[in-house]
Structure 1
């Protein structure tokens, strides 16, 4: 795993860091963000409402009209704030382009920062799901940037997926900063193989084919396409079935090293993980022991074995 914690920046809705910027003058401090992730990430706080010139406290607002192009309206006085917010969004995303962000955590339900299922009201009809104006602008400007809402980080599967993508994006940025060439791309891809396989065998094959014919494309185009497929693959969830296939694949490297009892023990741990009896960290710990013991160099370089700090305990859930 590459990249120091201090170099891993993520954008965060300011209220989640305890800043009193909400419409009612309060905050929505998220202890997991500041207490746990704060040990590994540095935060770039953003509050679109305050930064675009609205005061605190302020009148509540909501999205109305076309879900694809909603208007931002004050709830009581019916003032249209759309233009003011969109102008801020245009300028802010360009500022953020210089921050080297590796992820973004948005505030759930916010008409500016909500990422999923933000209510968009239509006259005489039930509200439909939309996206906050600022969150939509960030998603358009940075299509491969890992993004999540704070509430969804309570789900251990979604939390692991998001944080794994943040570290992966940092690794990719480090690779791009290190005078990349085709040989280095082959090396980078080799280290990511099992991680990608745990998310998508189809995109694992596509990435392999892309790298194999790397000389056929202009190098900038090759890098752009690789980033697109790499982050697309990691966005897909690494299910128990996919993880089990990778564990079995790794076990195959030791068929000449392990005795019958060791193979049975390892197979049992993998089966227990598959059946939801033990977390992923259990069979992985045994496999990492064998990687070190038998000096399996190909596996030793695989990011899959340690894609994020063990202290985050992302693979400890059943």
Structure 2
């Protein structure tokens, strides 16, 4: 059939819709059945960034249908209040996308996989444990955002953070304005002036706050009063029992504060999966694997055969 190769759709979720872009292969034929990979964006990101324009695009070029979606409360998706990063909703979003896919004549319901980048990787791990319709799991620099919210994001004082979050939520319930937690300095110049030197933070600013990766909905912000759920959550909980699907984990070997190197080795070791692969991209940082041609190419050299084998 003649078709545009990226189609934007609205997917019914709870009381709102999830916004998604579907990337089709060039020779897409709606009468055929396709393996489909759901691509999940990083924390504070959106579907137009690495999950869509890099990884979903590459998967479609290799014959898969790929779906990049915005998390509930973020991007073009619905949900109020805005900028909520709630793990239960973020994990549940995958299942709503699958609900949509199993109604499409071109989607093979027995060949649905997921790919998560950064925080989206941690959510993809949890979603794969919860939804057995997911047949293969891929992650790229997966981050356990729950752990980050107990450690570096809160100065390693989660109890103090929870007290502050509780006080702010009470204030908002009584009519005060919400507080937005901006996760990053506003520009590379602001980061330099603040003396920021940590590799993941510096490279996050260089990606999200410049023309390299900025997008209108790439907010890199949380509503502070709704962060308690993250403090009380762990992406890898029960992986030893529930994570049995085939898995391909990609990390770079230049670790930083966001913990994807540590998290990749951890989930690879803990998962009950019998068929699992750990890929360490030499010389690559967390953000190199967002969009840099050589590291991304090396990741795809493993991910594409992995999905072909298992989907």
The answer to whether the superposition gives a TM-score over 0.5 is no
Whose radius of gyration is greater, 1 or 2? 1
Higher helix share: 1
TM-score bracket, normalised by the shorter chain, equals under 0.3
* TM-score normalized by the length of structure 2: 0.27
Higher strand share: 2
